[in-house]
Amino acid sequence: MSIIFILIISFLALLWAANHLVTGAKGLSQHYRISPLILGLTVVALGTSAPEIVLAIFAAFKEQNNITLGNAIGSNIANIGLVLGITMLIRPMGLNPNLLKKAYPVLIIAMLFVYSSILDGFLGQIDGCLFLLGCIGLISFFIHLAHQNPGTSLFTKELKPIIQSKRTLKLDVFSIILGLIILPISARYVLISATELARWLGVSDLTIGLTVVAIGTTLPELATAVTAAFKGEESLALGTILGSNIYNLLLILSFPALLNPAAVNNTVLWRDMPVLIFLCALLIFLNFYYKNKCSRCQGGILLLVYCSYIASLIIRAA
């Protein structure tokens, strides 16, 4: 039971530190008058993936790629099935069709690109370089789209509520330092406790990554999406999830590829990635079938699929 307690405390510390780091970075960027648009598309967009990024680096150095793979893919599955499902159940959404037309194709391309790269059963340094280049290209693409209509950009409008800050410069610097200190420490203990929990339960590192670790690191996206939905920022809620999913695949998987090239578990190739692709296809179908409206029924369907997937993992592990 002490392992579970340490894991919970480590998760809370990880999320708390990531929040402080992102908040400080936003305030510091605003102090030096960096464009809110660039700030939102970089610091804020990548900020919700900070726990996954730090865990990926530590897991790569510990040669535990299965936890990183499980975390990245499991977080994406949880973002769509769990986070969006709960968000839609709480508050049905009316979505911005312009956002969907831009975000969905990018998400699909990113998923298929990553899947095709690992289908050979190996995650190597060439794959990692391609993932990083893809991530940089994606950020550049979003900034280019937003700058086409700087006054009325939907990106600026959607990101504005979460990039405003009235904190002092000293407080922002303190938040950054605090976040940089606590993040690696908490990530180390999350990794250690998750590994011990897997051994204690007699399940694989991949299963722990897909379930416990993935759900834990998805909490920032859940908090952001639910808060945005309550405030009537429905497109922001969906945009946060889709953006996080793209960065999770391209950025997080680049770390094990570059730092610890290794074979990819066949289960990831033929079970988990297909589940992720199916969930994305289901979300797109439901959105367009119901004419860009997200109802509680759609949320229930997504949540049901996710719960069925987690149940299958637990049954197989048992």
Domains contained in the chain, CATH given: 2-317 (1.20.1420.30)
pLDDT value of position 122: 95
The residue-averaged pLDDT of 18-40 equals 66
Q: How confident is the model at residue 97 (pLDDT cuts 50, 70, 90)?
A: low
pLDDT of residue 281: 92
pLDDT score of 56: 87
pLDDT value of position 127:
95
Q: Is the distance from CB of 142 to CB of 41 less than 8 angstroms?
A: yes
Rg (CA), the chain: 19
Give the mean pLDDT of 35-44: 54
Which of 19-23, 61-65, 119-123, 176-180 is least confident?
Answer: 19-23
pLDDT-derived band at 106, boundaries 50, 70, 90: confident
Share of the chain above pLDDT 90, in %: 29
Instruction: Output the CA torsion sign for 302, 305, 311, 312.
Output: negative
Please say whether the beta carbons of 284 and 101 come within 8 A: no
For the cut 70, the answer to whether the pLDDT of residue 228 exceeds it is: no
Q: 0.95 cut: is pTM over it?
A: no
Residue pair 17/182 in contact by the 8 Å Cβ criterion = yes
pLDDT tens digits, one per residue of 235-266:
666 776 877 788 888 989 999 999 999 999 99
Q: Give the chain's mean pLDDT.
A: 81
In this structure, what token pair is assigned to residue 148?
A: 């086409």
The predicted structure's pLDDT at residue 158: 46
- The Cα–Cα gap between 250 and 132 comes to 6
172, 179 contact by CB (below 8 A): no
